[in-house]
Amino acid sequence: MDYWGTPTSSTIPAMHGKDERELKRQRRKQSNRESARRSRLRKQAECDELAQRAEVLNQENASLRAELSRIKSEYEEIRSENASIKERLGEIPRNE
């Protein structure tokens, strides 16, 4: 300290260095918080997107199952009709 009680230049940088380090630490903590927040938001958006995609796929699956059931039913009707026609053809005498 000088005669007037003010700190000398040699003590100012040391205090300034501590403040600067604390400021950098606070900035880094804030940056990390923001990064974590962005990461959570990104994960939430991805989760929402996957849930929406799952819903679309479930609807498509239900639609395909209904179509498959309809086609199987139609197949059985045609098969039955075909067997009936074959049976009737077997009863008709052939002219040879």
Total residues found in the chain within this entry: 96
Residue 71 sits in which domain range? 23-91
Mean pLDDT, to the nearest integer, of 3-13?
56
CB 8 within 8 A of CB 2: yes
Q: Which residue type does 21 have?
A: R
Please name the amino acid found at residue 57. Answer: L
Number of domains in the chain: 1
pLDDT reported for residue 92? 76
Q: Is the pLDDT of residue 43 over 80?
A: yes
Would residue 29 count as lying in a domain? yes
Residue 5 is given by DSSP the state S
Q: What is the pTM of this model?
A: 0.57
pLDDT at residue number 96: 54
Q: Say if 12 falls within a structural domain.
A: no
For residue 17, what pLDDT band results from cuts at 50, 70 and 90?
A: confident
| pLDDT reported for residue 90 | 87
CB–CB of 18/25 below 8 Å?
no
> Is 43 a domain residue?
yes
Residues whose CB falls within 8 Å of the CB of residue 15, separated by 6 or more in sequence, listed in order: 7
The two tokens of residue 81 are 């009709």
Is 85 inside a domain boundary? yes
Indicate whether 86 belongs to any domain. Answer: yes
Residue 9 inside a domain? The answer is no
Count Cα neighbours of 9 within 13 Å in the Cβ-side half-sphere.
Answer: 0
